[in-house]
Amino acid sequence: MHVIYGGTFDPIHHGHLRLALEVADALRVERVDLVPCHIPPHRGSTGATSAQRLEMIRLAVEGESRLRVDDRELQRAGASYTADTLRQLRQELGPKRPLVMVVGTDAFASFDQWREWQEIPELAHIIVVRRPGSTLPEASLAKGLLEARRAERPEDLWQTPAGRILSFDAPLLDISATGIRERISGGHSPRYLLPDSVLQRIHEQGLYGACPD
């Protein structure tokens, strides 16, 4: 099984890292790949450049063998589309190996606005992370898709290469990258919300309004 967890990671924090390890434990896989996007199609520009975000992720996972960085989306020009990434991975993995992507409830709620969204469940399983205070609207396409393709247990995702959707409870770390950026720009310390190595790099480079060291 191959598991990817994509996002802007702007900046990466302990919520991202702990969730990736929880998913690895639940699926009983040796590794989860973090896939930073280059240009997110559904949000504004990032606070740090692609290169800066990639460097912070590498610092954050240093010494943790179960987390790896996959920078393939940063190597492509233009916006990062999940369907493109999954097609590329499916070509590499072959048709039979289970492929899993991790996404938050808030992002999955607008799943029908993703480019080529109909193809995504044919390429991979989806883990929808239930975050505090975030739910799928009852009449939404995302809710209907979840019910139609629901996997009851993590073990179910091992049975087929793609097509199932698993609801997953996030660990109790209600941390957001937005909140971290706001604390930094407001002159407050975000320490213990993200790795010290990442925070040090943010100050060294003056990211998010931080005073450079």
Q: Could you name the CATH architecture of 2-173?
A: 3-Layer(aba) Sandwich (3.40)
Q: Could you please report the per-residue DSSP string of 45-106?
A: --SS-HHHHHHHHHHHHTT-TTEEE--GGGGSSS---HHHHHHHHHHHH-SSS-EEEEEEHH
**Residue ranges of the domains in the chain?**
2-173
Tens digits of pLDDT across the chain (213 residues): 999 999 999 999 999 999 999 999 999 999 999 999 987 665 667 889 999 999 999 999 999 999 999 999 999 877 889 999 999 999 999 999 999 999 999 889 999 999 999 999 999 999 999 877 778 888 899 999 999 999 999 999 999 999 999 999 888 788 999 999 999 999 999 999 999 999 999 999 999 988 765
3-state SS class at 149: helix
